[in-house]
Amino acid sequence: MSEPYAGLAPSLDDLAALAEAAFAALPEGFRKLAGEVVFRVDDFASDEVLDELDIEDPFELTGLYHGVNLGHRSVFDPSPAPSRVFLYRRAILDEWAARGDVTLAELVGHVLVHEIGHHFGLSDDDIHAIEAAAE
């Protein structure tokens, strides 16, 4: 399958469209459980985020969940701001080019689902275990 971006780097809007399509392709029950999640695509994580996560190379971070995960919410707490999933275009493109074994749409979908897993309260280890079991 050929990539529609051959020779051109996909824009922020292109990655946002891939993320929206990946979310729309998820099972309806999964999308309903996710609730209101805002997706945002930036070239890289901000310096503040990288410092907070102790990451020196911005190419190491392809996505980030920001918010109160569903497992830590309470009806007694003030209404939290909408949860946000950040996708980092340049890091995703770098991984896509280095791997060469997945389409860009597949990689964007993978990163998106990984970050939504954090929205559900799953740790990186939990997510990796689920991915390994699915292979």
| Contact status, residue 103 vs residue 90, Cβ threshold 8 Å | no
Tally of CB atoms within 10 A around 98: 9
Say whether pLDDT at 100 is over 50.
yes
pLDDT the model gives residue 86: 95
User: pLDDT band for position 79 (50/70/90)?
Assistant: low
d(CA 107, CA 71): 26
For the entire predicted model, the pTM comes to 0.80
CA pair distance 23, 29, nearest whole angstrom:
12
pLDDT, tens digit, 9 for 90 and up, residues 61-70? 999 988 766 5
pLDDT at 27: 84
Question: Which is nearest to 60 in space by CA: 44, 71, 48, 72?
Answer: 44
Which of the four CATH numbers 3.40.50.2300, 3.30.2010.20, 1.10.3720.10, 3.30.1360.170 does domain 12-134 have? 3.30.2010.20
Q: What mean pLDDT comes out for the span 3-29?
A: 84
Kindly provide the residue ranges of all beta strands, DSSP E only, lying in the chain, ordered along the sequence: 37-42, 63-66, 83-88
